[in-house]
């Protein structure tokens, strides 16, 4: 059996590792040893689990592998941001972006291969949808990151809609926060969504991680023109759900708002944002649009960004302008994997 057909241990829960050991006739404590090697020491091969007997390592390696895979490509920005291209178990590629900022270091991870939400301004949306990532694929972006020991935060804001792949996302966040896993506080993890309401509600019930809503326009019809998913996952229904939940005081709720020149940067948009959000305990993050090839959209001016921030803040909505990072390497997700897909297509011709 080659390594690609073996079952990955990365992504397994404590109970699942216990079942593996039981099925192989290993002592029960072996499961704790394996989880320690994977989630504690982050080994890359079963042969490195030296407190397992040679016989047990050989038995385990017949059908299982650790499941980690190094990056296939990377791009480094002058500001320290690094974009990585990671292979997946299914043979695709997804992007992760490492963003260092003083004592803080954040990794933006992907949750799907492509995306079916179809946002007009998103390079990943242009790829279409090509498959779900497994928990192994999601965790590998952290596990195999060269700077993994420096990480302070993880945000699910890369390629794909996390709520459209909820079970693997929840499994990954559970392992990140489990005492036998990485042991992180849920406050170090933020999961984003365009607003898949039924899955957002389930996420709120089953996770304590922070939530970020990709808002981008407060008027439903305008939002639908930018984000077709608005037609199936309406913003107003999502906001109604968030207003009546008592979870807000236990985690951070933020709204991501990419600002486009002449499209969503007017005072009318600011007033509507205040109407929608001022009763809620939340934060708005304003993000200047990163230009992507062949896009009709342009980023708003600094003056417009500041005016929008100041208006919202004056009217009781906590608002910040997020610093642009990695513009020289097109840090917005989708560009590196799109280029890789095109290279593969050319090779096949």
Active site residues: 95, 333
Rounded CA gap, 74 and 82, in Å?
7
> What angle is formed at CA 10 by the lines to CA 158 and CA 13, rounded to 5 degrees?
105
- List, in sequence order, every residue forming a beta bridge with 74; answer none if it has no partner: 84
Could you give the strand order of the β-sheet that contains 318-322, starting from the edge strand earlier in sequence?
A: 73-76, 82-87, 93-101, 104-108, 153-156, 189-193, 210-214, 253-259, 283-288, 318-322
Helix residue ranges, H only, the chain: 14-23, 29-35, 54-63, 123-127, 135-143, 166-177, 197-206, 220-226, 235-243, 267-277, 302-314, 335-348
Q: What is the DSSP string of 317-335?
A: -EEEEEPP--GGGT-STTH
Q: How far apart are CA 337 and CA 159, in angstroms?
A: 10
Tell me how far apart the alpha carbons of residues 316 and 248 are, in angstroms, rounded to a whole number.
17
Between strands 82-87 and 73-76, the pairing is antiparallel
Half-sphere exposure of 88 (CA within 13 A, CB side): 22
Q: Which residues are CB-contacts of 95 (< 8 A; sequence separation ≥ 6)?
A: 83, 84, 85, 86, 110, 158, 159, 333, 334, 336, 337
């Amino acid at each position: 059996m080659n390594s690609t057909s073996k079952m990955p241990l990365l992504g397994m829960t404590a109970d699942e590792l216990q079942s593996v050991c039981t099925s192989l006739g290993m002592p029960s404590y072996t499961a704790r040893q394996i989880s320690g090697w994977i989630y504690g020491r982050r080994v890359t091969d079963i042969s490195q689990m030296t407190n397992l007997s040679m016989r047990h390592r050989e038995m385990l390696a017949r059908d299982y592998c650790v499941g980690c895979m190094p990056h296939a490509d990377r791009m480094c920005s002058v500001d320290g941001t690094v974009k990585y291209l990671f292979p997946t178990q299914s043979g695709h590629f997804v992007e992760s972006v490492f963003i260092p900022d003083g004592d803080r270091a954040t990794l933006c991870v992907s949750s799907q291969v492509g995306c079916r939400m179809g946002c007009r301004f998103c390079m990943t949306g242009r790829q279409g949808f090509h498959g779900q990532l497994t928990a192994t694929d999601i965790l590998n972006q952290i596990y195999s990151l060269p700077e993994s020991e420096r990480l302070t935060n993880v945000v699910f804001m890369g390629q794909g809609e996390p709520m459209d792949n909820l079970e693997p996302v929840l499994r990954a966040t559970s392992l990140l926060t489990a005492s036998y896993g990485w042991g992180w506080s849920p406050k170090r993890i933020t999961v984003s969504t365009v607003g898949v309401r039924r899955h957002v509600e389930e996420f709120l019930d089953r996770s304590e991680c922070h939530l970020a809503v990709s808002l981008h326009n407060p008027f439903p019809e305008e939002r639908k023109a930018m984000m077709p998913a608005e037609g199936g996952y309406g913003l107003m229904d999502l906001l109604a759900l968030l207003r009546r939940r008592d979870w807000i005081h236990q985690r951070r709720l933020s709204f991501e708002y990419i600002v486009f020149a002449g499209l969503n940067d007017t005072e009318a948009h600011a007033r509507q944002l205040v109407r929608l959000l001022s009763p809620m305990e939340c934060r708005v993050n304003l993000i200047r649009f990163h230009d992507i090839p062949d896009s009709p959209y342009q980023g708003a001016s600094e003056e417009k960004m500041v005016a929008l921030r100041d208006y919202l803040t004056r009217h009781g909505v906590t608002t910040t302008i997020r610093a642009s990072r990695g513009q020289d390497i097109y840090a917005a997700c989708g560009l590196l994997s799109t280029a890789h897909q095109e290279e593969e297509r050319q090779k096949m011709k």
